[in-house]
């Protein structure tokens, strides 16, 4: 059978698939731990049920029922067997090994094919840079337009006896977290806030 040549793109995809294989193995290991916790919880539940039965018998609130007592004991035995450390220690050891093997396979693949993968990824860097430059140019133009509107309101403010402190600053400047909050809320228009708060004044301005 003729071997199929692996392309650079498929190498990148293969590395992504191997990373997912690691994530799946980690998820299975965590699921195994949860299953063990549930098994241990079932032991405590069955033991509590047996204790409650015997406590009621001791309080003369319930007659001795050998059949029910046997069922409760059997439930405890079954729960203890299901939660046996012999079982879960082995399962967790296997889950740990699966994670290690998946990580080793991913790492070996990445090391062996790094040059090809790096070449493929580098092709994406130029377009990302170009998009950022275009966005930055557009941002600068938008900021200049917004700043011009604020300056215009600074000029008009004395005619309307408006407080210039009522004018917004450039919303894209300042602490990044604060800028993000403004963006989420919606940037203010350059119109003085007092005019926006007074429908009559806003109507007259229009």
Q: What is the distance of C-alpha 28 from the center of its chain?
A: 19
Q: 176: exposed, middle or buried (C-beta count within 10 Å: 0-12, 13-18, 19+)? A: exposed
Residues in the chain: 206
Contact 15, 113 (CB under 8 A): yes
Give the residue-averaged pLDDT of 162-188: 90
Give the residue-averaged pLDDT of 99-107. Answer: 98
Rounded-to-integer distance, Cα 108 and Cα 22, Å? 13
Exposure on the CB side of residue 125, measured as CA atoms within 13 A: 5
Question: Domains in the chain, please, with CATH?
Answer: 8-123 (1.10.287), 126-205 (no CATH)
pLDDT digits (tens, 9 = 90+) for 110-164: 999 999 999 989 999 999 999 999 999 999 999 999 999 999 999 998 898 888 8
Q: How far is CA 30 from CA 44, 84, 102, 193, in A?
A: 21, 18, 15, 54
Cα-based torsion angle of the residue sequence 20, 23, 28, 32 in order, rounded to the nearest 10 degrees: 180
Q: What pLDDT, on the 0 to 100 scale, is given for residue 165?
A: 82
Query: What is the pLDDT at residue 198?
Result: 53
The terminus-to-terminus CA distance of the chain in angstroms comes to 79
The owner of tokens 């309101």 is 153
pLDDT tens column, 69-87: 999 999 999 999 999 999 9
**Among 184, 185, 201, CA closest to 193:** 201
How many Å apart are CA 12 and CA 106, to the nearest integer?
12
Distance between alpha carbon 125 and the CA centroid of its chain, in Å?
25
């Amino acid at each position: 059978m003729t071997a199929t040549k692996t392309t650079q793109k498929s190498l990148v995809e293969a590395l992504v698939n191997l990373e997912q294989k690691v994530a799946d193995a980690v998820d299975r290991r965590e699921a195994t731990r949860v299953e063990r916790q549930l098994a241990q919880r079932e032991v405590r539940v069955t033991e509590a049920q047996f204790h409650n039965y015997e406590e009621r018998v001791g309080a003369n609130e319930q007659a001795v029922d050998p059949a029910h007592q046997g069922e409760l004991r059997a439930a405890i035995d079954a729960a203890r067997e299901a939660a046996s450390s012999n079982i879960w220690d082995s399962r967790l050891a296997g889950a740990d090994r699966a994670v290690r093997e998946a990580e080793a396979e991913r790492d070996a693949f990445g090391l062996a094919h790094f040059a090809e993968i790096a070449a493929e990824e580098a092709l994406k860097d130029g377009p990302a840079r170009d998009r950022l430059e275009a966005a930055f140019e557009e941002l600068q133009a938008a900021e200049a337009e917004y700043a011009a509107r604020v300056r215009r309101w600074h000029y008009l403010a004395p005619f309307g006896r408006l407080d210039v402190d009522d004018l917004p600053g450039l919303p894209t400047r300042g602490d990044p977290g604060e800028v993000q909050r403004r963006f989420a809320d919606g940037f203010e228009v350059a119109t003085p806030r007092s005019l926006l708060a007074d429908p009559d004044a806003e109507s007259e301005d229009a």
